[in-house]
Chains A and B, each alone.
Chain A
Amino acid sequence: MKLTPYEQSLLEGAEGRGVQKAMEIVVALGRIYGAEDLVEVSSAQVAGVSYKNLGEAGLEFLSDWAAQGARVRIPTTLNPAGLDLHSWHQLGFDAEFAAEQQRVLETFAAMGIPPSCTCTPYLVGNTSKLGEHIAWAESSAVSFANSVLGARTNREGGPSALAAAIVGRTARYGLHLDANRRARLVVEVRCPVRSFSDFGALGILVGQQAHNRVPYLRGLDVSRLAGSVGIDLLKTLGAAMAASGAVALYHIEGVTPESGEPDIIVPDAEQITIADLTPGYRALDQSGHFAVDLVWFGCPHASLTELEEIVRLLNGRRCKVPLWVTMARTLQDEAARSGLLQRFEALGGRVVADTCLVVAPMQGLGFQSVATPCAKGAYYVPTHSGMAVHFNSPEVCVETAVTGRWVAEAGGVEG
């Protein structure tokens, strides 16, 4: 692999052991994947933040790396933490866990990374332009950056994204190269895809068939995908594909920025048709009747548009069942300034910042079941947090919060 004299010097330890270790990681990954050289990256998103996932081993490693002088040299944001950093106590999280989580965030702060704690860095200022090289972990953010923003990143892991942030470079392979951004699977969508949960169910079905291939979607109503509502729909679609498959990039005809490039579909691409979303709903909604202990929006983290829509659907009615919206703290602050947060809380809703139901130690809080319109969340919560899941449209989920009863049948209730 070709390294510049400067890169070579970092590898030899010219800027200390911490930087050297980062360079070793970047170069080794490049060698494994056959990269010819490194490429400068303009931002990083680091995963492996929740103490629940990191554990003592991860924390120990991060502290040692920070002590060896590891500091990020590009704008870097963090994935969600294991709890709401301000109101964990009221929410019932364990004090010991909170202390460990705090140590993790102090370690990241020592490396120069502020506690942004969101899986939607692109909603809080970590945005990228078409063709920009970045190094992001967090599969849903990777998908959004590649597909909707047209930036270029592989699915980095926690340590490799951090290494890239420390040296400002990553190995040039995979999705950094034009050839690997072409679609190898064409998906003809032949059924209506309307609600937020429809897009999630579609994403689950596409991901199951795509595995790690780049899919190209046709037949979606393009007008629905415009504006801030469109951003929310693309966010849940991509997150679902990245959960059920390993899709890091997708194209939608007439919507995503690279979909119109010549030869964006390889000549021998496989063609499939999706004409029914029911299997997607069935895959996420656990059958059998049960009470709902919690209604949850915000996987990936909710936007202000989503929070506004929830308040509109509540229509002045109070929640009987706890209704949580997980989102970035900076967006919660913005909602507080505009009065949106107060309107939501007046109806019994609760914004939980910095974390989500997948990375928080939910087992200690006594919730047995959750209703959500978020496909990625529905996909992971049973295994990661041990709760039963109901999955349906935002309308159905809000009705559940208000009435305390789950009313929908699995299979795409129209909102």
Chain B
Amino acid sequence: MKRLTGRVIKHGRASGIALVSPEPISFFGMVDVDTGIVIEPGHPLMGERIGGRVLVFPTGKGSTVGSYSLYRLAKAGHAPAAILNFESDPIVAVGAIISDIPMVDQVDISQIHTGDWVHVEGEQVIVDS
């Protein structure tokens, strides 16, 4: 079991199976809002379902509409349980805040692998592989 700490972007508590993307994520156009499945061709997470997972990626990218897309995913029940970033960007950060998704950045995400069980509580991130 590993204990990591980061900086709280959106305070909260959540647990789930990690889904790790080595590449940045834009929620606008990348994820089908009705299913929570990644639909961006060529993206490392293509075909993965993000709902209920602890979603781990370096940083966000793309249009400011992405904040709203994350909100819509949350309302449809397909939002990630928590978001962990190396460096958060304003679009995903604002999306997490308005959607009540716990989010921590400045996390050493190289310590987390897809399939790990991750518990997030405030700035604490507990990883069980």
Residues of A within 8 A of B (CB): 21, 24-25, 28-29, 31-32, 47-48, 53-58, 60-61, 65, 157-160, 163
Contact = CB atoms under 8 A, between A and B. Distances in A.
A33 to B, nearest CB: 8
Interface string B1-25: 0000001011000000000000000
Given A28-B9, A31-B9, A157 B72 contact: no
A57 B93 contact: no
Nearest to A65: B98
A72 B65 CA distance: 21
Given A24-B97, A56-B72, A60-B72, A32 B90 contact: yes
A59 to B, nearest CB: 9
Nearest to B91: A157
Interface string B81-100: 00000001111011001100
Contacts of A28: 9-10, 93-94, 97
Interface residues of B, number: 21
B125 interface: no
Interface in B53-99: 64-65, 67-69, 71-72, 75, 88-91, 93-94, 97-98
Contacts of A24: 10, 97
Contacts of A25: 94, 97-98
Contacts of A53: 65
Contacts of B33: 57
A35 B25 CA distance: 25
A167 B34 CA distance: 33
A21 B88 contact: no
B121 to A, nearest CB: 18
Smallest CB-CB A-B distances: 3 pairs: A57-B72, A157-B64, A58-B68
18 contacts: A21-B98, A28-B9, A28-B97, A31-B7, A32-B9, A32-B93, A48-B65, A54-B68, A57-B65, A58-B65, A58-B68, A61-B68, A61-B71, A157-B64, A157-B91, A158-B65, A159-B68, A159-B94
A57 B97 contact: no
B98 A159 contact: yes
A54 B66 CA distance: 10
A12 to B, nearest CB: 12
A57 B7 contact: no
Given A24-B10, A60-B71, A61-B98, A29 B64 contact: no
Contact of A157 (B7, B69, B90): B90
A24 B72 CA distance: 19
A29 B9 CA distance: 9
A159 B72 contact: no
A126 to B, nearest CB: 21
A326 B106 CA distance: 45
Contact of A54 (B9, B65, B98): B65
B10, B68, B88, B94 — most chain A CB neighbours (10 Å):
B68
Given A28-B9, A55-B65, A58-B65, A160 B72 contact: no
Nearest to B67: A159
Contacts of A48: 64-65, 68
A31 B9 CA distance: 8
Given A32-B89, A48-B68, 7 more contacts: A24-B97, A25-B94, A28-B94, A32-B90, A55-B68, A57-B33, A160-B94
A7 B105 CA distance: 23
Contacts of B90: 29, 32, 157, 160
